[in-house]
């Protein structure tokens, strides 16, 4: 067991009985983030998606571990009541790894980002996680130094992460360069084209692909054999016939970036501003595509978790 994975975790981290029993017995577990529920989806759609995702993971023979913070305690394997709380409470913050001590000290409720979810999942001993889109390097980062904490955390967290690439509002080329520099293996799932969240092809090529959950699991095992610390990123594109129309995407992105600049929106406010513009400009279509790709990533993550447990 790696030195940073503890069989007895501190009081600040609580693993549910269901998740702990599955891990102790070597059964497959899939980690799921909670910011998609707390900050990515409107009510009551967020609760519907959270509960449905867990049900689909269980139907695949895998134990779901939705991760979030409840009254300052990081919970790995939220109960139904805790998911309902985070989906409906008025004051829920967004917590990356740096925010966990603050949430703990102040007794806050929080949705956990990809970075915090992956870090907590690994601490608990979970080997696979699914999300929608990964964070990355923001446009104009050469001046702003604006880069998601997802990237450096994944460089030090040996988990297998399934995502639909990174959000297209980011600087995808720079993000791929950073992932290479940080030593994070990136493979396409049945493709050598890197996806851009709601669009299947970002325009950037990948050197390698895996064509089955078994291949993805083999890659994770090979990483472990070398003793490497970085995550394995499995980029799972949305089906081409379900993606957001690329021409519509490009037009809306250009308009949204111009609007953000005109409004003086910068820093951590940029992503929610741009995603909101996307949702409104596409009549909600971008939200439906987001949910479609998230569901596919959860299904693939469950299959990989089964392979690794097997």
Q: Would you call 167 a catalytic residue per the annotation?
A: yes
Cα–Cα nearest to 72, from 92, 44, 48:
92
Q: What are phi and psi of 66, to 5 degrees?
A: -70, 135
Out of 82, 167, 292, 303, pick the active-site residue: 167
Q: Would you call 94 a catalytic residue per the annotation?
A: no
Distance between CA 143 and CA 120 in Å, rounded? 31
Cβ distance 204 to 237 under 8 Å?
no
178-214 burial, b at 16+ Cβ within 10 Å, e below that, comes to bbeeeebbbbbbebebbbbbbbbbbeeebeeebeebe
Pick left, alpha or beta for residue 123 (phi over 0 → left; psi -120 to 50 → alpha; otherwise beta). Answer: alpha
Q: What are phi and psi of 5, to 5 degrees?
A: -110, 115
Strand pairing report for 193-196 and 209-210 = unpaired
DSSP state of 97: G
Cα–Cα nearest to 165, from 237, 247, 213, 230:
237
Supply the residues annotated as catalytic: 33, 167
């Amino acid at each position: 067991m790696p030195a940073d994975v503890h069989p007895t975790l501190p009081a600040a981290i609580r693993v549910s009985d269901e998740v702990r029993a599955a891990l102790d017995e070597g059964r497959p577990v899939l980690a799921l983030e909670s910011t998609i529920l707390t900050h990515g989806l409107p009510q009551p759609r967020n609760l519907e998606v959270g509960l449905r995702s867990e049900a689909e993971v269980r139907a695949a023979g895998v134990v779901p571990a939705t991760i979030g913070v409840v009254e300052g305690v990081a919970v790995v394997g939220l109960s139904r009541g805790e998911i309902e709380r985070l989906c409906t409470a008025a004051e829920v913050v967004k917590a990356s790894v740096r925010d966990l001590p603050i949430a703990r000290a102040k007794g806050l409720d929080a949705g956990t980002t990809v970075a915090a979810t992956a870090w907590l999942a690994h601490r608990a001993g979970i080997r696979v996680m699914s999300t929608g889109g990964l964070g990355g390097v923001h446009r104009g980062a050469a001046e702003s130094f604006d880069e998601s904490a997802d990237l450096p955390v994944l460089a030090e967290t040996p988990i297998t992460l399934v995502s639909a690439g990174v959000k297209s509002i980011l600087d995808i080329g720079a993000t791929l360069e950073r992932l290479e520099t940080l030593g994070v293996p990136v493979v396409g799932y049945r493709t050598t084209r890197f996806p851009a969240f709601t669009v299947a092809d970002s325009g950037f090529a990948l050197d390698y692909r895996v064509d089955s959950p078994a291949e993805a699991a083999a890659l994770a095992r090979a990483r472990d054999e070398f003793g490497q610390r970085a995550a394995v990123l499995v980029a799972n594109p949305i089906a081409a016939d379900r993606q957001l129309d690329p021409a519509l995407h490009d037009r809306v992105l250009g308009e949204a970036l111009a609007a953000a600049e005109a409004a003086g929106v910068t820093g951590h406010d940029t992503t929610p501003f741009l995603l909101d513009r996307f949702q409104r400009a596409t009549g909600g279509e971008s939200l439906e595509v987001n949910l479609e790709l998230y569901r596919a990533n959860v299904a693939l993550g469950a299959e990989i978790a089964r392979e690794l447990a097997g």
